[in-house]
Amino acid sequence: MTIIKAKDFTEKLSKAGHVRYTKQNASLGKYGPKNPKIISLGLGDPRPDTFIFSEVSATVANLYNKDGSSDSTDSAQTTISLSEKKSPGSLVEGLDVLLQYGDGYGVRSLLGYAKNLVKNSHCPQYEDWDVIISCGSTDGLDKATDVFLNDGDNIIVDEYTYINAIKTFEAKSYNQVSVGMDTEGMIPEELDRVCSNWQGPNPLKAIYLIPTGQNPTGTTMSLQRRKDIYSVCQKHDLIIIEDDPYYYIQFGDAPVADGETTLSPEYLSKLPGTKNLLPSMLLFDVDGRVIRLDSMSKLMAPNLRTGWITAQKRVIDIIRAHTDTTLIRANGLSMGLLSRLLLEEWKEEGFEKHVAFVQKQYVYRRNLLVKSMKERLGNMIEFSVPETGMFVWLKVNLPDEAKREGVVDELFEKMTEKNMLMIPGFLFSADQKNPNVKDIPYFRATFVYAPLEELDMAIERLETVLLEFGCKK
Ligand code: PLP
């Protein structure tokens, strides 16, 4: 069997990436507390016997015992705890380690879990890949871009994309180059056309993609689309930042159905669970050009601030050097509790049940919102049914007499007056000041947050607004 090594992209590194690559601190860690022969007067770590917590416990709700059709909170609970020192036989570090400083990779138990998950789920094609724990995708994106991009460098983005990505890129003075999308996300031919005709002062170096349940458009790239985009990126030698926080919230080909059907065993068997998910581009990344961002935010809870980054080892080393001097390492309590839960409490079976639970909850909500939109709004809007994630992206079909400058702001104001909220589409565009973009009546609606019984009420309010603007069903 041939062993593939990642391509060397060091000539593409940013100034900061280059410094972090060439001047990585020779680690003093090996001389530290872990070497019992050495009396350390050297390192700045406080003594663990001064740490304020000697035990931390958390109640796990085991949400998958809930009925997916209701918002009730009854559940079979279990308690997990972290003790002062690693318990004999446990895979998870004690609080003496979890609450201590450490290198940027993150605690070893969670790192090991993440590596295993990446290996089994995405089967990276080259040998020298690695993982680092992040504080979620947004943190990962900030660090991943820093590896390769300087002020004034170009980053290719979807025509509409994640607001925090736009803001991050603006603040870093990157030039955002938008590429058109269709119902499967970025169009490969468009990407090829933009790259082939590129005449800007700096070369095109990197691309930012959200392949699954794209925010804001809810689009999901099919396997073929992922492969096509990857080959265009190969052709133009682009580094790919794959932000995939909605990876586990896929609905496969489960159609829109009414409440009861949605909960039937036959319907639920159409959901992909953990085994039939559309894959990461790591699956065909023979060059090591993909930097993948995973997040626990949508699956567990956002403010655990935990996720991980997978990329070729050289890139992970640079991100580790960055983390060492900024964050130092992700939060020890979050990492420890997740490790205990994933490695020792849930194990594979519990994780699978939880993923199935989340998919069931969200598909049920998607179906409710989509049915209500179809029934109440008819031709007043256009939209595609999302197969993944949290968002429905819709365009209001305004009559000609309502098409005017500022109409999206007017619509937004009327919606909030009627106590319903959707986010205007132009806010997700890197080109949002352009009047041609600002007045296109796109909106992003999410089906995951409002109480179930209020989803239809929100659409009823929207119906009143659209009728006031002269839209026709
Ligand atoms: N990336 C995308 C595309 C998102 O839509 C979101 C959430 O809204 C995030 C990242 C945030 O993820 P995290 O909480 O892991 O930073």
Assess whether 277 and 395 both reside in one domain. no
Overall domain count for the chain: 2
Strand partners, 445: 392
Residues with CB under 6 A from ligand 1: 136-138, 162, 210, 215, 243, 245, 295, 297, 302, 307
Residue 180 covered by a domain: yes
pLDDT at 242 over 60: yes
- The CATH number of residue 409's host domain is 3.90.1150.10
- pLDDT over 70 percentage in the chain: 95
Strand partners, 206: 155, 239
Other Cβ atoms less than 10 A from the Cβ of 5: the count is 13
Please name the amino acid found at residue 227.
Answer: K
Q: Whose alpha carbon is nearest atom 7 of ligand 1?
A: 245
Give pLDDT tens digits for 405-451. 999 999 999 999 999 999 999 999 998 878 789 999 999 999 999 99
Structure tokens at 324: 């060492």
pLDDT at 320 over 80: yes
Assess whether 15 and 91 both reside in one domain. yes
pLDDT at 74 over 60: no
Q: What is the mean pLDDT of residues 11-20?
A: 95
| The pairing of beta strand 290-295 with beta strand 307-312 | antiparallel
pLDDT class for 2, splitting at 50, 70, 90? Answer: confident
pLDDT at 470 over 50: yes
Burial class (CB in 10 A: 0-12, 13-18, 19+), 74: exposed
Residue 44 covered by a domain: no
Q: What is the mean pLDDT of residues 74-103?
A: 90
Among 160, 295, 427, say which to mutate for ligand 1: greatest number of ligand atoms within 8 Å of CB. Answer: 295
Task: Please state, in angstroms and rounded to a whole number, the distance separating the CA atoms of residues 143 and 146.
Answer: 5
- Report how far ligand 1's centroid is from the alpha carbon of 329 (Å): 19
Tokens 């998910």 belong to 277
Residue 39 covered by a domain: no
Q: Whose alpha carbon is nearest atom 5 of ligand 1?
A: 215
Assess whether 328 and 404 both reside in one domain. no
pTM over 0.85: yes
Assess whether 432 and 325 both reside in one domain. no
pLDDT at 82 over 50: yes
End residue of a domain, out of 304, 334, 356: 356
- Report how far ligand 1's centroid is from the alpha carbon of 102 (Å): 26
Other Cβ atoms less than 10 A from the Cβ of 468: the count is 12
Do residues 336 and 170 make contact, with C-beta atoms less than 8 angstroms apart?
no
Assess whether 287 and 261 both reside in one domain. yes
- The CATH number of residue 314's host domain is 3.40.640.10
- pLDDT over 90 percentage in the chain: 88
- The mean predicted confidence, pLDDT, of the chain is 93
Per-residue pLDDT, 72: 44
Per-residue pLDDT, 41: 82
Structure tokens at 268: 């639920």
Assess whether 421 and 307 both reside in one domain. no
Per-residue pLDDT, 28: 60
Assess whether 262 and 314 both reside in one domain. yes
pLDDT at 69 over 50: no
Among 139, 207, 215, say which to mutate for ligand 1: greatest number of ligand atoms within 8 Å of CB. Answer: 215
* Residue 307 φ then ψ, to 5°: -160, -165
Structure tokens at 392: 């429905």
Assess whether 282 and 296 both reside in one domain. yes
